[in-house]
Chain A
């Protein structure tokens, strides 16, 4: 075993190196690989999760946008319908009001016509009466006497018919 002696191999030294390396192995495993590998895994997981979340958020955002567009379109449709119905209603109201006003106007018109007619008739009657009195007075002054009831009657009828003929 000359060669072993030449290379300086001694069991004690071998053992010392083995123990030394085992200590290194243990310490590195505990303080180096384990925490770092764990950290790397955690980070990987977290990145994966956040990427997934980002995808989800993007999808949600897209959906929300679509929804908002839909809602907006619906609102527009609704408002248009509302405006149209309001317009129809207002037109109806206006036409109704116009109609009513016209009716009222006509009513007033007819009423006033009736009134005017009545007034005219009354005035005519009064005129007749006054005319008659005047005639009677004139006759009395001319004839210097009062008319007999018979004459009076005749005269009056005659005058009235004459007047009536003139008025109408």
Chain B
């Protein structure tokens, strides 16, 4: 029995009319872990850090430093959004590497198709497109907030025909951001899933996949960072006054 990773996420059950895929299910788990971690880290917050608070502080402070080098005085607004993207994607990617994800499941259609119970969240285009949409909407929302509606529209519309054309290109660019953000993340993680599945079944299931796991850990971190940084850069660009 060969296992292969399907392009689309599989439905495992449905609540009423809403189908619940294994990605959605895994997303809930990631969400739960993330929130529990945040809650545990800040439950007994004190000036003298203890336990999880140390990790949380290091994470937030490092990320804050990184964001403030680009965003400057807007750090306080951008940090939660950019940080959430980073931590959510990172947790999702690393959870997807755990054993059992993608391999524990059940068979459907009389044992013909294998349906895994869990699936790495970013190997489903639904998740990445959703993230890209949130990123883009947040960016434009912040742009309106910082520049006002006039300043925001001035970025795309102009009476000068040349600038009007440039503005038109910018609008297309904004739309492509969704594609680039979502497909980059999806492509990398999905390819990783395929790679790991192939490495652990077709080639050899012992020892050989270990280097690939290290590679995927690196990819998972880098992709989370790239998504967060791109969102940050888009935000900074769109909230700057046009000249």
A interface residue numbers (CB < 8 A to B): 5-10, 12-18, 20-25, 27-29, 31-37, 39-40, 42-43, 46
Contacts and interface: CB of A to CB of B under 8 A. Distances in A.
A21 B39 contact: no
Interface of B: 7-9, 17-19, 21, 23-24, 27-28, 31, 34-35, 38-39, 41-42, 45, 47, 53, 56-57, 60-61, 64, 76, 79-81, 83-84, 87-88, 124-127, 129-131, 133-134
Given A8-B125, A13-B24, A21-B131, A36 B57 contact: yes
A36 B42 contact: yes
B57 A39 contact: yes
Given A10-B126, A21-B131, A37 B19 contact: no
Contacts of B127: 17
A73 to B, nearest CB: 46
Contact of B7 (A6, A23, A32): A6
B42 A18 contact: no
A36 B56 CA distance: 8
Given A5-B8, A8-B126, A14-B126, 8 more contacts: A6-B8, A13-B19, A13-B21, A25-B134, A29-B84, A31-B38, A36-B53, A46-B47
A31 B81 CA distance: 14
Contact of B38 (A18, A28, A39, A40): A28
9 contacts: A5-B8, A13-B19, A13-B24, A24-B35, A31-B38, A36-B41, A36-B45, A36-B60, A37-B76
Nearest to A6: B7
B99 to A, nearest CB: 24
Nearest to B126: A13
Contact of A27 (B8, B24, B38): B38
Contacts of A6: 7-8
Contact of A32 (B8, B17, B21, B56): B56
A14 B88 contact: no
A32 B52 CA distance: 12
The 9 A-B pairs at the shortest CB distance, nearest first, are namely A8-B8, A17-B130, A32-B38, A13-B126, A29-B80, A7-B125, A33-B80, A36-B60, A18-B130
B60 to A, nearest CB: 5
Contacts of A40: 57, 60-61, 64
